[in-house]
Amino acid sequence: MHLIDIEVGKWVKVIGFEGGAKFQDRLLQHGLYPGDVTRILRKAPLKGPLLVEVSRRELALGREVARKILVEDIV
Amino acid sequence: MRFALVGRPNCGKSTLFNQVAGYKAETGNFHGTTVTFTESKVRVAGEIIQIVDLPGTYTLQGSNPAEAVTKEYLASNDVDVIINVADASHLAQSLELTLELLGVNRPLILAMNMMDEALRLGLSVDGPGLEKKLGIKVLPLIASKGRGVKHLFLASLELARLQPSYGARFNVCEDDAMARHKMGQQLADEFIKAGTRHLTWRDRLDDILLHPLWGYGTLLLILLAFFQAVYGIGRLIEPPLLAIFDKLIVTVTGPLGPNTIWGALVNGILQGVTAGIAIVLPYLLPFLLGLGLLEDIGYLPRIAFLMDALMHRIGLHGKAIVPFILGYGCNVPAVMSTRTLEEPRDRFIAAALATLVPCAARLAVVFGLVAFYLGPLPALGLYVFNLFVIAITGRVLTGLLPEDVPGLILEMPPYRIPTLKAVFNKAWFRIREFVVEAWPTLIAGSGILALLSYFNLAVYLNYLIRPFTWVLGLPAAVGVPLIFGILRKELSLVMLGQALGTMNFSSAMTPVQLFTFTVFVMFYVPCVATLIMLKKELGTKGMLWITALTVIVALIAGLAARAVAMIIF
């Protein structure tokens, strides 16, 4: 599953990133790590970015970014 | 003795710096406002201390220019104490950098900033516990209110004098980011107790401001109110100010005689002084005040969020909206702000497009020529046309320079109530940059120009630019105003009267010519101050490419405008 497919408000766990090393680095730098629990707070219209919550902070992620973030359900 | 302030973006380093050093660094509720370091000397307990405000960085192994600056500085300079400014309301993330700094063998002190914000979130921080665990001093701080500042610096001074050993420090052998992230989380869990979070208006605000519908409505209203206020204030101040200076020029140059070399020179210089004041005070000052307000509230990242989808259509992402908004005031800070973009490609495209945005000076040309002689509707049309040209140029550049790292990743800070002092100081800081860097060029250029026309040399410049004016069907005489417009854009308007020999431009130029001329002025070669900034940000090659690009765009847009104008007028 990718973050882009998750409905708003549902908590999921990040398990990994697709894409190049540079892309992964950038996510890590902004404090999004595999193992983190996250949820989508809102989606901007017209294929705009997602606003996600991770460790009490809010991050805006472009859709093409969210398409490359692998997540799983929290059991 | 030297203290370095290090911390994540938007943690309040610059706010702290400004508290002790007077206003020298730019602050803003936007990630990465500080992109180069700022130094200042302050006196603490009788000792002179050099304080360095380093750009916000997530890690010491970072890749963007702002992060490289921090890393280089810590590696190359003698820093007696590193003051690590942490955001207490987001301690887990802040501690990741702290863990990295523990590995740098320098005295280290941890300042837990934004304690008020943490309290608002219902967090209670066990400072002494953390202090014991990390083996470094941990102090509370509310930099925006100046609380804890004095204590922090006294403690740093003491630390510098003691020169403690690093043996007692918490040991992180892990050199990888993932391990530090986990450790930061663990430490935060251990030393922070989460209480109940008090939901306030700030938490609710995004429900409206980022709403798929109301969000855009309010964005439009806010920007409209913003520009309306800027131009409203500008129009109020400019005419009386100009009247005063015109009178002054007449009084001063009168005794010298208008046809003597001294009279011409003094007149030219005073014109330059006047142009600077007429542009800076009435328009740039309210613009910068308003921008500072939006910035400190934390609205700019919201604009980036809302505009991301649209910006993608011209090959950039939401973060690049900031240079565009700044560009309407002045292209210089616009080009400067491209530093916050990570990719060199994004920086180049954003800078190139930002120079096409009509700044306040070009607004003067649009108002002075098109709005005055042809009416407000064609002037408004020009602004729409401008956006259209920027979009097409963006598309072309994106086709030429494909994107390799996708998308927007941007921290959304909480809303903060700005302090008036900070907003005023910030505007003053930016104004000073204009006064020091651009104004002298303007005055000198104006003086040179006066001499050129006194010796009747200016006409030769017309030949130089004749190919362009000929293609666009403009009178040869506008060559001089165009060339000098590169010094400062409004000179293209100011000098037009001199060049055409009349102040009634409509008698010397047809409506089609006025319109075409304005369009050309809107796009061709950025002003000298912008060119200097382009060179600084992108290197000589980048500057030359953008200059060439603007000439091509100006020519094509000018021809298109000429064709359209011939039909309309």
Cβ-defined contact of A62 to B177 (cutoff 8 Å): no
For chains A and B, what is the number of CB pairs under 8 angstroms? 112
Cβ–Cβ gap B185/A55 under 8 Å: yes
Query: Which chain B residues touch A27 with a CB distance below 8 Å?
Result: 409
- B439 close to B276: Cβ distance less than 8 angstroms: yes
The minimal CB distance from A56 to the residues B90, B310, B318 is found for B90
Alpha-carbon torsion, ordered B43, B44, B50, B56, to 10 deg = -120
Q: Is the ipTM of this complex over 0.90?
A: yes
For the whole model, what pTM was predicted? 0.74
Distance CA B524, CA B313 (A): 24
CA distance B197 to chain A (A): 11
Cβ B356 vs Cβ B393: under 8 Å: yes
Where does A1-75 have alpha helices with state H? 21-29, 63-66
Name the residue among A55, A58, A63 with its Cβ closest to that of B92: A55
Q: How are the residues of chain A apportioned to helix, strand and coil, as percentages rounded to the nearest 5?
A: 20, 40, 40
Task: Note whether A48 and A63 are within 8 A (CB).
Answer: yes
B80 touches chain A (CB under 8 A): no
Kindly identify which residue of chain A lies nearest to residue B185, measuring between CA atoms. Answer: A55
Other CB atoms closer than 10 Å to residue B446's CB: what's the count? 26
Find, in chain B, the residue whose alpha carbon is nearest to that of A20.
Answer: B405
Phi, psi at B125, each rounded to 5°: -100, 130
Question: Which of A23, A35, A61 comes nearest B405 by C-beta?
Answer: A23
- Name the closest residue on chain A to residue B408, using Cα atoms: A62
Asked if B243 reaches chain A (Cβ–Cβ under 8 Å), the answer is no
Cα(B42)–Cα(B50) distance, integer angstroms: 6
pLDDT number for residue A69: 92
Which residues from A are below 8 Å from B412, CB to CB? 51, 57-60
**Chain A residues touching B206 at Cβ < 8 A:** 42, 51
A32 chain-B contacts, CB cut-off 8 A:
409
As a dihedral over the C-alpha atoms of residue B282, residue B38, residue B103, residue A27, rounded to 10 degrees, the angle is 30
Q: Which residue of A has its CA nearest to B308?
A: A48
Which pLDDT score, from 0 to 100, does residue B35 have? Answer: 55
Q: Which of A53, A57, A63 to mutate to test the interface with B (most CBs of B within 10 A)?
A: A57
* Alpha-helical regions (H) of B403-504: 420-433, 439-454, 458-464, 466-471, 479-485, 491-494, 496-500
| Residues A61/A49, Cβ–Cβ less than 8 Å | yes
Chain B contacts of A29, Cβ < 8 Å?
58-59, 62
Alpha-carbon gap: A7 to the closest alpha carbon of chain B (Å): 16
- CB contact B403 to A (< 8 Å): no
Going across the sheet that includes A37-43, the strands are A69-73, A12-17, A37-43, A50-54, A57-61, B409-412
Kindly write down the DSSP assignment for every residue of B119-186, as one continuous string: HHTTEEE-HHHHHHHHTSEEEE-BGGGTBTHHHHHHHHHHHHHH---STTSPP----SHHHHHHHHHH
Which positions in chain B touch A64 (Cβ < 8 Å)?
A: 406-407
For residue B518, the model assigns a pLDDT of 92
The residue among B275, B282, B210, B274 whose CA lies nearest residue B248 is B274
List chain A residues with CB under 8 Å of B212: 43-45
Which chain A residues contact residue B178 at CB under 8 A?
28, 33-34
d(CA B227, CA B325) in angstroms, rounded, equals 10
- DSSP string covering B199-253: --HHHHHHHHHT-TTHHHHHHHHHHHHHHHHHHHHHHHHHHHHHHHHHHHHHHHH
- Candidates A4, A40, A52, A56: best to mutate against B (most CBs of B within 10 A) is A56
3-state helix, strand, coil in chain B (%, to 5): 65, 10, 25
Question: Hey, what are B251's tokens?
Answer: 């009084």
Nearest CA-CA partner of B153 in B48, B54, B78? B48
Q: Which of B181, B309, B405 is facing A44, going by the closest CB pair? A: B309
Closest to B118 measured CA to CA, from B194, B210, B232, B63? B194
* Cross-chain residue pair A44–B212, CB shorter than 8 Å: yes
Q: Distance between CA atoms of B340 and B35, rounded to whole angstroms?
A: 7
Output the tens digit of pLDDT for each of chain B's 569 residues: 888 899 887 788 878 887 887 655 555 544 544 556 777 888 877 888 888 888 778 788 766 666 777 777 887 767 889 999 998 888 888 888 888 888 887 888 999 998 888 887 778 888 888 888 888 889 999 988 888 888 898 888 888 888 766 666 776 655 677 788 888 888 888 888 876 666 667 778 888 898 888 999 999 899 888 878 877 887 788 788 888 888 888 888 777 776 788 888 888 888 778 877 876 677 778 878 888 888 888 898 898 899 888 888 887 888 888 888 878 877 877 887 787 777 788 899 999 999 999 987 888 888 888 888 888 888 888 888 999 999 999 989 988 888 766 678 888 888 888 888 878 877 887 777 667 766 787 788 778 878 887 887 777 888 888 888 999 999 888 888 888 888 778 778 877 877 777 777 888 889 899 999 999 999 999 887 788 788 888 889 999 999 999 999 999 999 999 999 888 87
Chain A: closest CA distance from residue B87 (Å): 11
List the single best residue of A18, A26, A64 to mutate versus B (max B Cβ within 10 A). A26
Chain B: closest CA distance from residue A23 (Å) = 6
Q: Which of B568, B509, B65, B556 has its CA nearest to residue B356?
A: B556
Give the per-residue pLDDT at B557.
94
User: Cα(B418)–Cα(B423) distance, rounded to whole angstroms?
Assistant: 7
Six-digit token pair at B223? 């920007």
pLDDT at position B33, please?
Answer: 47
Query: Cα separation of B339 and B34, whole Å?
Result: 10
Query: Which residues in chain B touch residue A26, judged by CB atoms under 8 angstroms apart?
Result: 342, 405, 409
B306 touching chain A per CB within 8 A: yes
The per-residue pLDDT for B25 is 53
Residues B549, B552: Cα–Cα separation, whole Å = 5
Q: How far apart, in whole angstroms, are the C-alpha atoms of residue B281 and residue B309?
A: 35
Identify all chain A residues contacting B407, using CB atoms and an 8 Å cutoff. 49, 61-65
Helices H, strands E: what count in chain B? 28, 9
| pLDDT at position B171 | 66
From A42, A57, A62, residue closest to B93, measured CB to CB: A57
The answer to whether the Cβ–Cβ distance between A48 and B305 falls below 8 Å is: yes
Cβ contact, residue pair A60, B409, below 8 Å:
yes
CB pair distance less than 8 Å for B406 and A49: no
Give A57→chain B minimum CA distance, Å: 7
CA B541 to chain centre: 22
